[in-house]
Amino acid sequence: MKYSIALIWLTFVGCSIRPANRIVDNQAEHSSNYAVEASWAALPHLSDPADEVPDSIFRDQQSSALVDVFFLHPTTYTGDKGQNHWNASLHDNKLNQKTDRTTILHQASIFNGVGRVYAPRYRQAHLYSYFTKDKDLAEEAFEIAYSDVKASFEYFLKHFNHGRPIILASHSQGTTHAIRLLADYFDDKPLQNRLVVAYLVGISVLKDQFKSIDVCQEANETGCFCSWRSYRSGHLPRKLPTSPKIAVTNPLSWYTTGDYVERSQNKGGVLKKFYGALSKHIADAQVMEGLLWVNKPKFPGSFLLTVRNYHRADYNLFYANVRENVMRRAEIYLLNIEEKSGIQTHHPNEGWPF
């Protein structure tokens, strides 16, 4: 039974039905107030799933962290019963619980070893927005979602961040919005100096997507972005773009080259069962044709796995490697600040040199 649960979790990417109601039907709630704690899925001073760790070898270090993490979660509004609008409500308790126990627990928690984790709720576009032929309607839904992302980020900057370095992390629809956020607030702008790294995962990002923010080329680089989309080795999805112009990072080597990295370099992933279930050597990885190719992951019962799209597990398959990498990049960023300014970042009361 436990094997089938893991399989169902990994294979499910999301079924979607067309929302029945127009976008304007649920805009009575169009004010998103980020001064209200309930508008956040994760805040460092609250107890939430972003504080959790899957194994005792990890520690939640948010209370002493010197950098901030702004995390944008993927689509969890997928057409469940009663979800008939093009944009989710911030006050849908069932949806919020689903978001918290999935992406916040399994993805946002990766970053609690290095930074204070902030994850806003937003009126996410319905999953069907990615598949509808009505592009104007989809664009309107995404605009509503992004307006919340912008509002939450501006509130974060004004009330929480206080000039600290920033890590931006996202998945799927979160990355759709994170790409715009980087362009609007960081790219060739003063805030770029405070960008430690961005993990733009689960959506295609072009290598030249930004004016002055490049793809990370190796594990120690800062001020850059990493991106990948995971599929079964040999699979080229027909309806999604594949091109050498798409940025792809191998999360086992942190290079963008096509070198194959065997699963022995994978330090641990997590599936449906989060606590005490870090699966070492679960997956290998290779950059190929604008995708990250992964041979069938190895876990109990994986011989039943037939799906070729590993989108849902983009972070999960490489949980420990991403956690280690973001800690390394933050440490290097802080050391560079010390060298340039002479201010010891281990004593934040002295202030940040920005």
Exposed, middle or buried, 14 (CB in 10 Å: 0-12/13-18/19+)? Answer: middle
- Tell me how far apart the alpha carbons of residues 149 and 211 are, in angstroms, rounded to a whole number: 22
The token pair at 139 is 């664009």
Query: Residue 211's Cα: distance from chain center in Å?
Result: 22
The token pair at 322 is 């991403």
Using alpha carbons, select from 108, 127, 105 the residue that is nearest to residue 117.
Answer: 108
Using alpha carbons, select from 323, 339, 335 the residue that is nearest to residue 109.
Answer: 323
What is the distance in angstroms between the CA of the first residue and the CA of the last residue of the chain? 54
Q: What is the dihedral of CA 254, 258, 261, 263, to 10 degrees?
A: 100
Per-residue pLDDT of the chain (354 residues; tens, 9 = 90+): 343 334 334 444 444 567 866 554 455 455 589 999 999 999 999 999 999 999 999 999 999 999 999 999 999 999 777 678 999 999 999 999 999 999 999 999 999 999 999 999 999 999 999 998 889 999 999 999 999 999 999 999 999 999 999 999 999 999 999 999 999 999 999 999 999 999 999 999 999 999 999 999 999 999 999 999 999 999 888 777 778 899 999 999 999 999 999 999 999 999 888 998 789 999 999 999 899 999 999 877 666 677 889 999 999 999 999 999 999 999 999 999 888 776 665 544 334 443
- Tell me how far apart the alpha carbons of residues 330 and 325 are, in angstroms, rounded to a whole number: 9
- Tell me how far apart the alpha carbons of residues 51 and 351 are, in angstroms, rounded to a whole number: 26
- Tell me how far apart the alpha carbons of residues 6 and 79 are, in angstroms, rounded to a whole number: 22
Number of other CB atoms surrounding residue 56 within 10 Å: 9
Domain boundaries, the chain: 2-350
pLDDT value at position 7?
38
Q: Do 243 and 290 touch, CB atoms closer than 8 A? A: yes
Using alpha carbons, select from 330, 97, 63 the residue that is nearest to residue 199.
Answer: 330
- Tell me how far apart the alpha carbons of residues 101 and 277 are, in angstroms, rounded to a whole number: 16
Per DSSP, the three-state class of 288 is strand
Per DSSP, the three-state class of 49 is helix
CA atoms within 13 A on the CB side of 33: 6
List Cα–Cα distances, 274 to 9, 52, 102, 263, 278, in angstroms.
12, 9, 10, 20, 8
- Tell me how far apart the alpha carbons of residues 170 and 277 are, in angstroms, rounded to a whole number: 23
pLDDT digits (tens, 9 = 90+) for 296-335: 998 776 666 778 899 999 999 999 999 999 999 999 999 9
Q: Do 166 and 114 touch, CB atoms closer than 8 A? A: no
Ramachandran quadrant class, 162 (left: phi over 0; alpha: psi -120 to 50; beta: rest): left
pLDDT digits (tens, 9 = 90+) for 96-133: 999 999 999 999 999 999 999 999 999 999 999 999 88
List Cα–Cα distances, 332 to 223, 250, 327, in angstroms.
11, 20, 9
- In sequence order, what are the residues at sequence separation of 6 or more whose Cβ sits closer than 8 angstroms to the Cβ of residue 81? none
Rounded to two decimals, what is the model's pTM? Answer: 0.91
- Tell me how far apart the alpha carbons of residues 60 and 148 are, in angstroms, rounded to a whole number: 28
What is the DSSP secondary structure assignment for residue 17, as one 8-state letter?
-
